[in-house]
Amino acid sequence: MEFLVRFEVDAPASMTADERERLRGLERVRAMELREQGILRHLWRVPGRRAVIGLWEAPDATVLHDALASLPMFPWMDVTVEALATHPQEMK
């Protein structure tokens, strides 16, 4: 099942620059693991914002939630998920 996931990270102002960089590094590592597992398919930045749009694939919403929750920045993410269904024009 495919999901369109939008999220914006709002780290607390009290977080140090070093801690933010450390978490970004951990985030990259975890994202690569999710790509290797086939869960994270594509990511796009939203210009001018700290927002990301991604195409994710998981057997169900619970597996997707677990994958998102495994991201180191998850506690500071505002996440919106839309389940996607194949459009009839895309069917072959």
Please give the pLDDT value at position 30. Answer: 98
| Token pair for 69 | 């929750």
CA dist 4 and 55 (Å) reads 5
The pTM of the full predicted model, rounded to 2 decimals, is 0.89
Instruction: Tell me: pLDDT of 91 over 80.
Output: no
* CATH 3.30.70.1060 corresponds to the domain 2-86: yes
CA dist 85 and 77 (Å) reads 25
CA dist 60 and 10 (Å) reads 27
Which region holds residue 76: left if phi is over 0, alpha if psi is between -120 and 50, else beta? alpha
- The domain ranges of the chain are 2-86
CA dist 4 and 19 (Å) reads 29
pLDDT band at 35 (very low <50, low <70, confident <90, very high): very high
Please give the pLDDT value at position 13. Answer: 83
Please give the pLDDT value at position 92. Answer: 67
